[in-house]
Structure 1
Amino acid sequence: MLIADRSPDAAGASVLDPFYRAAGNEVEVFTAAARRGTPVLLKGPTGCGKTRFVETMAHRLGRELITVAGHEDMTSADLVGRFLLKGGETVWVDGPLTRAVRAGAICYLDEIVEARQDTTVVIHPLADHRRELPLDRLGTILHAAPGFQLVISYNPGYQSILKNLKESTRQRFVAITLDFPGADAETEIVAHEAGIDTATARSLVGLGRAIRNLDGSPLGEVSSTRMLILAGSLVAAGLDLRTAVQSAVVEVLSDDDEVVRALGELVDAVLPRR
């Protein structure tokens, strides 16, 4: 998990580098993979920092980052490109994946399993030793420029039997698992990102961890670090803590009246009364 900072880190990084608090060896693994152009698969729950991690690594490596959000209607043409009518002429327009291949950029396909499996097959020749992208409609094969790297992410706990990565796709990647940070680190992150004091951030983190640890939880998702930051930002904007939590956490996690009521009782038990 990471926070933005302009102060130098322990390794003497540039003051313009974002600060990243590593939970394990993810920075080293990603850096080594980037040196060889090896594709990376990021696994972890929603809101744990996968996207921010990629943004930080792209910044540190000095690479352009092109991000694509996966969805069920995504086609291969959305990634690769298509012919469009412009000014009375039919012209080819590169898709984001093709732009990244040409520019030697990092292409980040977020929540890739949301796309159809016949769409994700287009990345296979880019994710192995060939490092090439067939442009069938142009009758050519595009070879990846130096610096190109493919990064994909997904949330393993959110997938169904119908939405998972094919083995033929997974085995082309090295995997990095990210998770929510420890309490102290998450408190620092929430305080910094939301612009609130440490005590308030610690209260939010305590609530978030209590929700994550609920036994037999009916929730489809738990309270993410992103969610806690949003609640904190409402506090920074002048809302009282409980109102901010109700709007940014409780009401977001469920539409079921009974579940919302139960979460409200948990908030009452966990948050300090002021």
Structure 2
Amino acid sequence: MADDASRKRKVRGRKIRSDRSQKEGRRAKKELARKASNAGKKNGDSPLTDPAAITPEPFVETDAVTALRERINGWLKAEQPVHLIGPTGCGKTALALSAAAERGRPVVWLNGDEAVDTAALVGDHAGGERYKEDDRFVSGVSKRTEIVRERWVDNPLSVAVREGATLVYNEFSRSDPAAHNVLLSVFEEGVLERPGKRGEDRSINVHPEFRAILTSNDAEYAGVHKQQDALLDRFVGVYVNYYDAETEREIVRSHVDLPDDTIETVVDTTRTLRDALEIVVGTRAAVTAAKGLSVFENPETDASENGAFDDDLLTAVFVDVLAPKIAGQGPEDIAQLRTQIADSI
């Protein structure tokens, strides 16, 4: 680990902070938006959400974050679906939600996994409605007719294209590519076909304000499917990597109340381990490590205030944070991880 002088160096560069009253105000505004959104749900199961209710909290605003979000929203204004790609823990989901909220349109959230099929996207029959009609038009004659009508329930994609919402499709590449064939006509012809739906309303004309933001981990991650080229050709891909050191410090600071020097040490260690280890060490790992230090280190000590806590504690915390990534590989691998982290520190 660096010497005491480097540990005590102050964070340079522009810091963008909000005081506690502003944060409380934003939380109160989001809570009101959630209540309003819930009150307006159709049939109790509409996926539409007020944009103010999905803004990530906390969400850090730095020049790097703002520039990336403006790039995403620029493509959305150009009527292009945006596919955010990058390593896990780099903030893709928070960025997608922030960009969606900034549009001011209702938001529809969808989380991809193996269980997502075409019906999960567009809708399906949800049982039937049975009722009886009594015809007493002729005096003294009663005619009773029993009618059974199937009930169709729209799922997130159908709701989003009809209402002109922003679809945030998280972990898009974890879903089976066959489920996404319906997206081809949405992005090319502006029409959504609802397989299984009968009648004249089998298709929906895509609302002119409909937009889509999709997020995916890099292709080498487990559980990720390669999507069809015909669909990927209709997206623009924005690669989201880990942010600069200043932004990572601000992200950690927004989650944990620790001295600046402690946060700087955590972020510096995270960035060092990111280069030294073969496993993924994301910004989320820095936040988790900082939370651990806030518990295990006594904040009343001078060492904690100066960020000069014991290297053994820092090593132990990062081992705990990163050990799940090699779980099941045996104690010798944990020992090797501990050695690598200790050497890096």
Same topology, TM > 0.5: yes
1:20 maps to 61
1:239 to 289, 296, 308: 296
1:45 to 87, 107, 113: 87
SS at match of 1:42: strand
Q: Which one has the largest radius of gyration?
A: 2
Q: What is the CA-CA distance between 1:67 and the residue it aligns to?
A: 2.1
Deviations 1:63-111 (A, max 9, x none): 2222222112221111111111377674211111112112211112222
Normalising by structure 2, report the TM-score: 0.65
Q: Sort the Cα spacing of 1:91 and 1:194 in 2 relative to 1 into closer, same or farther, 3 A.
A: farther
Instruction: State how far apart, in whole Å, the 1-side matches of 2:89 and 2:219 are.
Output: 13
1:154 equivalent in alignment to 2:212: no
Instruction: State how far apart, in whole Å, the 2-side matches of 1:91 and 1:194 are.
Output: 49
Indicate the RMSD between aligned Cα atoms, in angstroms: 3.0
Q: What is the CA-CA distance between 1:138 and the residue it aligns to?
A: 2.0
Whether the 8 Å CA contact 1:186–1:225 is kept in 2: the answer is yes
1:187 equivalent in alignment to 2:245: no
Give the counterpart letter for 2:319 in structure 1: Q
Instruction: State how far apart, in whole Å, the 1-side matches of 2:263 and 2:81 are.
Output: 35
1:67 maps to 109
Q: Sort the Cα spacing of 1:156 and 1:40 in 2 relative to 1 into closer, same or farther, 3 A.
A: same
Whether the 8 Å CA contact 2:60–2:251 is kept in 1: the answer is no
Per mean C-alpha deviation after superposition, the further-off stretch among 88-97 and 200-209 is 88-97
1:132 maps to 191
1:203 equivalent in alignment to 2:265: yes
Give the counterpart letter for 2:173 in structure 1: V
1:104 equivalent in alignment to 2:177: no
Give the counterpart letter for 1:48 in structure 2: C
1:266 maps to 340
Whether the 8 Å CA contact 2:160–2:166 is kept in 1: the answer is yes
Deviations 1:112-163 (A, max 9, x none): 22111111212111223x2221112224211222321112122224258982
1:253 to 300, 325, 332: 325
Unaligned runs of 5+ in 2: 1-14, 20-25, 30-54, 131-148, 298-312
Task: Give aligned pairs, total.
Answer: 256
Among the aligned pairs, what percent are the same residue?
Answer: 23
Instruction: State how far apart, in whole Å, the 1-side matches of 2:69 and 2:251 are.
Output: 18
Instruction: State how far apart, in whole Å, the 2-side matches of 1:112 and 1:123 are.
Output: 12
